[in-house]
Structure 1
Amino acid sequence: MTVEEFEEFYAHSVKRLVGQVYLMTGDLHEAQDVVQEAFVRAWGRRSKLRRDAGPEAWIRTVAWRLAVSRWRRRGRAAEAWRRHQGGRVPAAPEPDAGAVALVAALRRLPERQRRVAVLHYVCDLSVQQVATETGIAAGTVKSHLSRARAALAPHLDDSMDSIIPEEHGV
């Protein structure tokens, strides 16, 4: 990918990727940080990235892994803080009510179900594409999607149906 192609790729996909990772992580600032870091890493390997080979999937996967790594590190730090200070780590402020409702509902899901649901329903990836990106068998992806829909249904109002549509076979 040339410098110009990479810049165009960045301009057209950064907001979408931040939104997708935000839904997976539940933290907008964290999503912005890990997506930016993923783009920095992609810049160094831009000659290997090809538009037809799914550079967005590469960025999304790297961003997800960075977020997981940060959660683990932050969890250890928060535990150390509680042990030594007895204090709480303050939560980041949340955005508008619709996004808060969706993120709150997604947070109720186990990590794997949440990631699969966001990749399928928000990123609009097929079951097979989700399976490839996550390394999970397609049948297991379908099972996670079904369980995620069932778990999300009581927590989302009818206006969220456009985000997470009813599907046949999933």
Structure 2
Amino acid sequence: MTTRTADSPPVSRDIEAFYAANVRALTLQLWAYTGDLASAQDLVQEAFCRALPRWERIRRYDDPAAWVRRVAWNLATSRWRRARAAAEFLRRQRAEHVEGPTPDRVVLAAALAALPEQQRAAVVLHHLADLSVRDIAAQLGAAEGTVRVWLHRGRTALAAQLADEPEGHRG
């Protein structure tokens, strides 16, 4: 339902007309400010959304578009500040440069990937996570004897795959 005030069209048509008359110019202004059209469109839409519940008051301003522009501009500035703060936080949190995997690790990862899922899980949990057979059985929901079989078969398959690798890739 639309409400009528003295000397004005229904509110829904009033704000629709205001939107239609101002969205393009405001988007272009924010695009120039942000340098990103999609961001400008989002910011202007958010500003109009914020204007909607306040429209009865805003429509009486000398320049309601100035209110929407100010809100969009403030949203852009806040977004920029948050992005800058996040980038600064990440910059401070960066650890020293970590080298990529060695050729041996690449070969091992490929060999592990070739194992059936249960064997791979058992081998990784036992040898990399240092879990006991009992802990692996609990995590994987299997009997301890089954985990021992998976470990044996996984180690045997890994040994065969790694033995097939050329000498230059093993350390």
TM-score by length of 2: 0.46
Structure of greater Rg: 2
For CA contacts below 8 A with separation 6 or more, give which structure has more relative contact order: 1
